[in-house]
Amino acid sequence: MKVVVQRVSQASVDVVNELGTIDPTFEPQQIGSGFMLLVGVTDEDGEEQLSWLAHKILNLRVFEDEQGKMNRSIKDIGGEILSISQFTLFADVRKGNRPSFVKAGKPEHANITWIKFNEALRSGGVPVREGRFGTHMRVGLINDGPVTITIDTDNL
C-alpha cells in the first residue's frame, strides 16, 4: 500500500456523475483539522500491510504541541480523516508518456482492502469520512504547513 498523508485544516470530496455534474446519490464529505489520505492498494496488500499502515498513521506525530514542535498525533488533537482511494499512486511513467497502472490492485481487491483500512483507522478512535471507490471525485483541501508525507508498506 502507498499513502500520501496531508495534514489539513479542512478537506472535502464530492462525486461527479457521467454528465459532469455533482452526483446527487453521494453526500459530499467534509472534515476539519486532521488528515486527507490518498490511498493506493496493490494485489499483494492484505491485513499485515493495512494494520501496520493504520497504526502508523494514527500515531504519526505531525501536529504541533504547545512549543510549536510536531509532537502530537491525530488522536491527540481529536482530528478527523478523509480517505480517498487513489490507484494512480502506482503509476509507472518510466516508458513513454502514458502512465501504466499495472501495479495497482484489481478493483475488487483494492476496494475491499481500502474499506478494511478505513475500518482499522476508525477502530483507533478517529472519525473517518470517505470518497467513493472507482468514481470521478473532486477533492478540495487546505494543506496545513504544508505537511505532506508519503508512506509505502514496501518499506516494512
Catalytic positions:
86-88
| Burial class for 84, CB neighbours closer than 10 Å (0-12, 13-18, 19+) | buried
Q: At what angle do helices 107-123 and 47-59 cross, to 10 degrees?
A: 40
Q: State yes or no: cis peptide before 107, omega within 30 of 0.
A: no
